[in-house]
Amino acid sequence: ILNVEQSPQSLHVQEGDSTNFTCSFPSSNFYALHWYRWETAKSPEALFVMTLNGDEKKKGRISATLNTKEGYSYLYIKGSQPEDSATYLCAFSRDGQNFVFGPGTRLSVLP
Amino acid sequence: EAQVTQNPRYLITVTGKKLTVTCSQNMNHEYMSWYRQDPGLGLRQIYYSMNVEVTDKGDVPEGYKVSRKEKRNFPLILESPSPNQTSLYFCASSLRVGAEAFFGQGTRLTVV
């Protein structure tokens, strides 16, 4: 089974702070890396689908970068807001069919 | 409204009693999959399907069966549930292989 790691496991930031977290995955046979946002008592929702080395994606205050050669992706949140509080998941795939999720980074934004 | 619908949302059952968790999507998606979520672990893929009558094992398929007789439905079957299958289950669908997944609301299953 492939190993996908995320760090940190959890973090607390103040409203207005910018933050970032890491997803590490195998650097061989890359097909896709997905980021999802999972709020408590809801279902995971897709943030980004990343497929090319060097990809940079942005949605509002959230952005992500991808380095497939070294096997990592960063998720950045600029000016964190309380509504950003959630668990952020990454999912790695070598074929677009079988996805391995990381354990997630739990973000708490304090007002 | 485009959605993935799972039923039931909550289920408590006894060891050995066969059960089915249904999953239906109304987006004409080709790809569907099932995951389980356990504390401290990431979502783990149980089974997936690329299209009608095409299913394949994920990382944790033991004790589960699936079928894909119609494009919209992808039920998860536990023939003889055991307590170690107590978990939160998610069904997901994607327009095609590799595309973003849309998740159902989740089914919390307890096997006693």
pLDDT of A1 reads 67
Residue B30 · residue B95 · CB < 8 Å:
yes
Residues of B in contact with A51 (CB under 8 A): 98
CB within 8 Å of B45: residues ≥ 6 apart: A98, A99, A100, A101, B33, B34, B35, B58, B59, B60
Q: B31-75: per-residue pLDDT in tens? A: 999 999 998 888 999 999 999 999 999 999 999 999 999 999 999
Task: Per residue of chain A (111 residues), give pLDDT as tens.
Answer: 678 999 999 999 999 999 999 999 999 999 999 999 999 999 999 999 999 999 999 999 999 999 999 999 999 999 999 999 999 999 999 999 999 999 999 999 999
pLDDT of A2 reads 79
Residues of A in contact with B97 (CB under 8 A): 95-97
d(CA A103, CA B41): 5
* Mutate: best of B103, B105, B108, partner A, most A CBs <10 A: B103
The share of chain B scoring above pLDDT 90, in percent, equals: 94
Across the interface, do B101 and A98 touch by the CB < 8 Å criterion? no
Tokens linked to A55: 């990809």
Instruction: Give the largest Cα separation in chain B, rounded.
Output: 37
DSSP labels for A41-110? TS--EEEEEE-STT-EEEETTEEEEEETTTTEEEEEESS--GGG-EEEEEEEESSSSSEEE---EEEEEE
pLDDT of B60 reads 96
d(CA A67, CA B77): 38
Chain position carrying tokens 């033991």: B62
* Mutate: best of A101, A105, A106, partner B, most B CBs <10 A: A101
Average pLDDT over residues B81-97: 96
d(CA A37, CA A47): 7
Phi, psi (degrees; rounded to nearest 5) at A83: -70, -5
Q: What is residue B84's three-state secondary structure?
A: helix
Instruction: Decide if pLDDT at B5 tops 70.
Output: yes
pLDDT of B1 reads 84
pLDDT of A25 reads 97
